[in-house]
Structure 1
Amino acid sequence: MRVSGPDAFVVTIPLVNFGLPKRKCYWLISAGAREGSRAVRAVPIKVITVGKSSGGAADAYADEWASKVQRYTKLELVHCKSNPKDAQNPAVAKQAEGERLLRLLKPQDFVIVMDERGKELKSTDFAQLIAQAGDEGASSIAFCIGGPYGHTQQVRDKATRSIKLSAMVLNHQVAKIMLLEQIYRAWTILNGEPYHH
């Protein structure tokens, strides 16, 4: 867990009495901290995207945001092949993508599915969702971006939370860039940094 900046200080307390995981470092935020900042454990993040990497400008821009997120926590970008069985039927293709995606998830993951049916959050609420994963002792946060036909019901059922970036349908590369920017924004909110206005 890390919160940077002059408004953070460390206090050593017997964590077991507060229902917190043992052997974790927690920070307390002083009264001078910005609104929305709070103690948070730096849970590793993986962003799983169904679809191939283009290797072009979109990937370069995503990598730029990823490097900013990595100032705060470990981040892994994972590409899950779309339509791995080369099926002509969209339902079969989506099912195969879902099965492949589910194999990339671990039991202790805090799974956040990006879905047009999901809940729309403000950036400050999204930041608190990331903090919640740390509070609940998740081994990592797994963000799942679906392919052209979205997620299967099995993937939705696996989700700890389901959220949407927009009411509009987004290309997976655009969705990944938007998500990474919001993850970075969330960390600046939690750290009380002036990026978010």
Structure 2
Amino acid sequence: MTISLYLHASAGAYAKNSIPSPGAGKRCKYAGQSVRALPIRVITVGKKRSLGVQLVVDEYIGKLKYYCKVEDLQLRSNPKNTGDVKAQIKDEDMAVMNIISSDDWVVMLDENGLDIGSEQMAELMGDAGSTVRIAY
């Protein structure tokens, strides 16, 4: 089983990266190593976050803020296009793309996606390498 993540490329296209599921006894290649702390952005789009999502974001930021810079960006939906769902999604996509840099390592999270463990997340963040910032 693999987890697919879509990474924003500088040309506006999307590249696909897969993280293998952990095998028996497989350790993260970055475990115990000192790596550069990358700034992290948590980006959400919508009128208001649900209480559950807000609790998760707050907990995540609370744990990470001691190790790296963490930004929490909430983009509001465009109320002008509420009747046209496709137009609203396009406007929201453009708003997100305007705040993401071509040097950012973008991880798209979805409530219907697969779960990854701490070691897989460490590999994902470690593989970001010389990236300027990680954006969720």
Same topology, TM > 0.5: yes
The 1:83–1:139 alpha-carbon spacing in structure 2 relative to 1, beyond 3 Å, is: same
Q: Which residue of 2 aligns with 1:113?
A: 108
The answer as to whether partners of 2:104 and 2:131 remain within 8 angstroms in 1 is yes
Equivalent of residue 42 in structure 2, options 33, 38, 47: 47
- For 1:54 and 1:92, the matched residues in 2 are separated by 21
- CA drift at 1:39: 2.6
The RMSD of aligned alpha carbons is 2.8
- For 2:34 and 2:121, the matched residues in 1 are separated by 15
Q: Verify: 1:65 aligned to 2:80, yes or no.
A: no
CA distances 1:123-159 after superposition (whole Å, capped 9, x unpaired): 31111101111x2x1110011xxxxxxxxxxxxxxxx
The 1:61–1:92 alpha-carbon spacing in structure 2 relative to 1, beyond 3 Å, is: same
Q: Secondary structure at the match of 2:106?
A: strand
- For 2:50 and 2:118, the matched residues in 1 are separated by 29
- For 2:42 and 2:63, the matched residues in 1 are separated by 14
Q: Which has the higher contact order (CA 8 A, sep 6+)?
A: 2
Q: Which structure has greater helix proportion?
A: 1
- CA drift at 1:104: 0.7
Q: Which segments of 5 or more consecutive residues in structure 2 lack a partner in the other structure?
A: 1-29
- For 1:119 and 1:55, the matched residues in 2 are separated by 20
- For 2:122 and 2:104, the matched residues in 1 are separated by 17
- 1:3-82 maps to which residues of 2 (within 5 A)? 36-53=31-48, 59=54, 62-82=57-77
- For 1:60 and 1:122, the matched residues in 2 are separated by 19
TM-score, normalized by length of structure 2? 0.65
Percent pairwise identity: 31
- CA drift at 1:38: 2.2
The 1:94–1:57 alpha-carbon spacing in structure 2 relative to 1, beyond 3 Å, is: closer
- 1:169-180 maps to which residues of 2 (within 5 A)? none
Larger Rg: 1
Q: Which segments of 5 or more consecutive residues in structure 1 lack a partner in the other structure?
A: 1-34, 144-197
The answer as to whether partners of 1:83 and 1:94 remain within 8 angstroms in 2 is no
TM-score, normalized by length of structure 1? 0.46
Aligned residues: 107
